[in-house]
Amino acid sequence: MSIQTEIRRRRTFAIVSHPDAGKTTLTEKLLLFGGAIHVAGAVKSNKIKKGATSDFMEIERQRGISVATSVMGFEYDGYKVNILDTPGHQDFQEDTFRTLTAVDSVIIVIDAAKGVEPQTEKLMNVCRMRKTPVIIFINKLDRPTQDTFELLDDIERQLQISLNPLSWPINNGPDFKGVYNIFDKSLDFFKPSVQDIEPGISFDDLDSPELEKHIGKDAKKLREDLELVYGVYPPFKHDEYLAGNLAPVFFGSALYNFGIQELLDAFVKIAPWPRPVQTEERLIDPEDEKFSGFVFKIHANIDPNHRSRIAFVKVCSGKFIRNNNYKLIRSGKTFRVSSPTAFMASQKEIIEEAYPGDIVGFPDNGSFIIGDTITEGEDIHFKGLPSFSPELFKFVENADPMKTKQLNKGVDQLMDEGVAQLFTSQFNGRRIIGTVGQLQFEVIQYRLEHEYNAKCRFEPLSMYKACWIQSDNPKALIEFKNRKHQKMATDKRGRDVFMADSQFILDMAQSEFKEIKFHFTSEF
């Protein structure tokens, strides 16, 4: 197969949702329909169960599981599908955001009864920012929901994206009959069975009295609904979807295997293959001859005794070949990978080669950090792995003076993995850890102790937001830093960060210092 054919048959995507909408169930069902697993229940949820926020063993157990399910690849109908898993727990949002930099499209799962929930909105914002094509799967139709038109209006308004239903539900809850598949003009009947996989029947002519035979008095309502649908929503425009402006919508019930086959069939046909990726220097085309890729995730502690890690690399161009020499741009060093891994059909295996869109696991003993670019030699730097302004802050102090070296190394490595962000106060040199969730502090403390044999203590710090500052006028920057001396810090890359105590203080600073640019992600 030519490299072009290999690229064009790849579909690399993530499924995201607000917790409990059905992400894990849908992932599992896609694997089931894709033939990657054979019984439901084989994929364990990698979400941190509710109420387990201080159960370290649970966190460890969950982290162990999520290694195996980080990337799930399978062959389906001539396509190579790669599903990238994302953590459900909101304290790990930043992991999810980073994973979204490695996908070519996204499926957002929405609970039909609950509609858009807060995390769905945040995830959509990231997709919009990156212009990632999005498909929406409205789940749990077997439960009572609000009126479908109202639901779609709400989603459109809250997610700020135009929708285009490619299937349409016939009732919901206990009366749920199935969906009419607008995309391929077929009727699918709902049978609440957890394992049955039955194809729908083709149904071109909705005016035919045959429809009554299948769905009785609901036929009239379906005809009326669809007339409205065709009137309200213009025909599906593939280009608009690929541009990230239009989200096709599917309905179903992941728990009961319903609507999944249709989703998968439509997905492989319409979802994009790997697209060109922007670096600081130039646009990298997947069909470029030479290999390039970037590290978007580091998974640590697969074996706690060896402190081993896996760096997950998204192949962006060319062909990755085992044992070839590649360059890590940050250090300038050349290296070879003798046992690169990929996850096929939920098995981890050593691979000989990989193509754009694929995710390769590099065994790592601390050489890689998140955001690293790897090439055949060209000095390029992939963009777009932003750190977000953290919102929770604590001073980190050494709780065992005999273990200073271990603590420093541990903190450094955990930050390289992207667990949290480290800032150093320019005022007193104290180190501050910033996170987006409380759970990260517990993970850091636990991992320092168990992996690095170091003990840390956190001291509370009341802070509203950290933001990166910049100015074209060096004088204005110096003046700002002098005035805010006590609130200035440096990030790991040595950049200036303003630590605002409150929204009010941030607003004041923004209106007083017009020449200073305040950035809320590290990528600007």
Tokens of 246: 């239009």
Tokens of 364: 């790592």
Tell which residue, 261, 346, 267, 263, has the closest CA to residue 39.
Answer: 346
Taking CB under 6 A as the criterion, the residue among 73, 88, 115, 293 binding ligand G4P is: 88
Cβ of 421: how many Cβ atoms within 10 Å? Answer: 23
CB of 463 to ligand G4P, least distance (A): 30
Tokens of 312: 């997950």
Contact stretch for ligand G4P (CB under 6 A) within 5-13, 35-43, 123-131, 254-262: 254-262
User: Which one, 85 or 449, has the nearer CB to ligand G4P?
Assistant: 85
Q: Does 19 bind ligand G4P (CB under 6 A)?
A: yes
CA 312 to chain centre: 13
Q: Does 120 bind ligand G4P (CB under 6 A)?
A: no
User: Which one, 91 or 364, has the nearer CB to ligand G4P?
Assistant: 91
Taking CB under 6 A as the criterion, the residue among 8, 22, 342, 362 binding ligand G4P is: 22
Q: Do the Cβ atoms of 222 and 180 come closer than 8 Å?
A: yes
Q: What kind and span of H or E run contains 129?
A: helix 118-130
Q: Does 434 bind ligand G4P (CB under 6 A)?
A: no
User: Which one, 112 or 211, has the nearer CB to ligand G4P?
Assistant: 112
Burial environment of residue 133 by CB neighbours within 10 A (0 to 12, 13 to 18, 19 or more): buried
Q: What is the DSSP letter of 175?
A: G
Residue type, 431: R
Residues 138-177 that bind ligand G4P (CB under 6 A): 139-140, 142-143
User: Which one, 139 or 341, has the nearer CB to ligand G4P?
Assistant: 139
CB of 13 to ligand G4P, least distance (A): 16
Taking CB under 6 A as the criterion, the residue among 126, 255, 342, 432 binding ligand G4P is: 255
CB of 117 to ligand G4P, least distance (A): 10
Q: Do the Cβ atoms of 249 and 166 come closer than 8 Å?
A: yes
Say whether 378 sits in a helix, a strand or coil: coil
Q: Does 24 bind ligand G4P (CB under 6 A)?
A: yes
Q: What is the DSSP string of 2-19?
A: -HHHHHHTEEEEEEEEST
The Cα–Cα gap between 258 and 289 comes to 42
CB of 191 to ligand G4P, least distance (A): 13
CB of 67 to ligand G4P, least distance (A): 17
Q: Does 253 bind ligand G4P (CB under 6 A)?
A: yes
The Cα–Cα gap between 257 and 25 comes to 9
Q: Does 45 bind ligand G4P (CB under 6 A)?
A: yes
Torsion angle of C-alpha atoms 358, 362, 368, 374, degrees rounded to 10: -50
Report how many residues bind ligand G4P under the rule CB under 6 A. 19
Tokens of 211: 């429809």
Taking CB under 6 A as the criterion, the residue among 12, 17, 471, 522 binding ligand G4P is: 17
Q: Does 47 bind ligand G4P (CB under 6 A)?
A: yes
Q: What is the distance between the terminal CA atoms of the chain, rounded to a whole angstrom?
A: 40
Taking CB under 6 A as the criterion, the residue among 254, 360, 463, 489 binding ligand G4P is: 254
Contact stretch for ligand G4P (CB under 6 A) within 23-31, 277-285, 295-303, 358-366: 23-31
Given phi > 0 = left and psi -120 to 50 = alpha, else beta, which region is 16? beta
Cβ of 494: how many Cβ atoms within 10 Å? Answer: 7
Contact stretch for ligand G4P (CB under 6 A) within 134-142, 202-210, 390-398, 454-462: 134-142
CB of 288 to ligand G4P, least distance (A): 36
Q: Does 188 bind ligand G4P (CB under 6 A)?
A: no
Taking CB under 6 A as the criterion, the residue among 7, 14, 21, 187 binding ligand G4P is: 21
The Cα–Cα gap between 189 and 200 comes to 7
- Listed in order, strand segments (DSSP E) in 355-453 are 359-364, 373-375, 392-398, 421-425, 431-435
CB of 146 to ligand G4P, least distance (A): 16
The Cα–Cα gap between 277 and 88 comes to 27
Q: Does 430 bind ligand G4P (CB under 6 A)?
A: no
Tokens of 284: 């990298």
Residue type, 28: E
User: Which one, 24 or 301, has the nearer CB to ligand G4P?
Assistant: 24
CB of 215 to ligand G4P, least distance (A): 20
Q: What is the DSSP letter of 446?
A: H
Taking CB under 6 A as the criterion, the residue among 7, 9, 11, 25 binding ligand G4P is: 25
CB of 184 to ligand G4P, least distance (A): 22
Contact stretch for ligand G4P (CB under 6 A) within 18-26, 347-355, 369-377, 428-436: 18-26
User: Which one, 6 or 142, has the nearer CB to ligand G4P?
Assistant: 142
List residues binding ligand G4P (CB under 6 A): 17, 19-25, 45, 47, 88, 139-140, 142-143, 253-256
